[in-house]
Each structure stands twice: as structure tokens, then as C-alpha cells.
Amino acid sequence: MKKISRTLPILALLGMLFIPAHADNMKGMAGMETDKHTPMSSHKGQGSVNSIDTATNTVNLTHGPIKSLGWMGMTMSFKVKNKTSLDRIKVGMKVDFDVTKEPDGTFVITTITPVK
């Protein structure tokens, strides 16, 4: 019994450390963070392409941290504003992209290009 009562609090603590990290980050993505004052500002990111959906103009990226947005690196999907920029990229490519926050709070890629 002694052993259990010592281990459980440690497990609970570990859970608290690991679970909220990504949840907090996704809150920022949903537009609940602080950059309301600069809604159309552009942020530069870099990542690799996991999938491209030309029917919905959506691209799934694993991107690195974007400091100007307070984002950690993660895998997520973005709408791409300029259809034709999807013609230049392929699954597996490393890409540079610009992302802006729309008035409705969603994040949209304006330009996406292969890393030179």
C-alpha cells in the first residue's frame, strides 16, 4: 500500500505536465489569443507537406514553431487562399509559407513555396 500511495501522485503530476501543452497551443490557433489588433498581419512558417487536397484547397503540414504567433511546431491543416500556389508543391516537400489570420479567426495560408 505504501508503494501505491507514493506512485499515484507522481503519475498525476506527469499527466498534468504533458497533456495541457498541446491543448493550450490549439486554443491559440482557434483565435482565442491576443493578436486581435493585427488581424491581417502575415506570419512566416516552414514545414513539410503531408497531404494536399485540391478539391478543398487544403494542405496538411507538419510545421516548425512560428514565434510571431506563439505557436509550437505541430501537424495541422490549412486552407490555401491562392489555388495556383498548390500547383508548385508536392507531398513530402519542405515548404516556406505565409499564414494570416482571417477576420473570422481562422488561419489561412496566402503563399506556399518549395524551400530553395
In the complex, least distance from residue 4 CB atom to Cu ion, rounded to whole angstroms: 39
Cα distance between residue 83 and residue 90, in whole Å = 14
Give the shortest CB-48-to-Cu ion separation in angstroms: 13
> Which residue's Cβ has the minimum distance to Cu ion?
76
- Smallest separation, CB 74 to Cu ion (Å): 4
Q: How far is CA 28 from CA 4, 81, 107, in A?
A: 38, 21, 10
CB atoms within 10 A of CB 80: 24
The site for Cu ion (CB under 5 A) is made up of: 74, 76
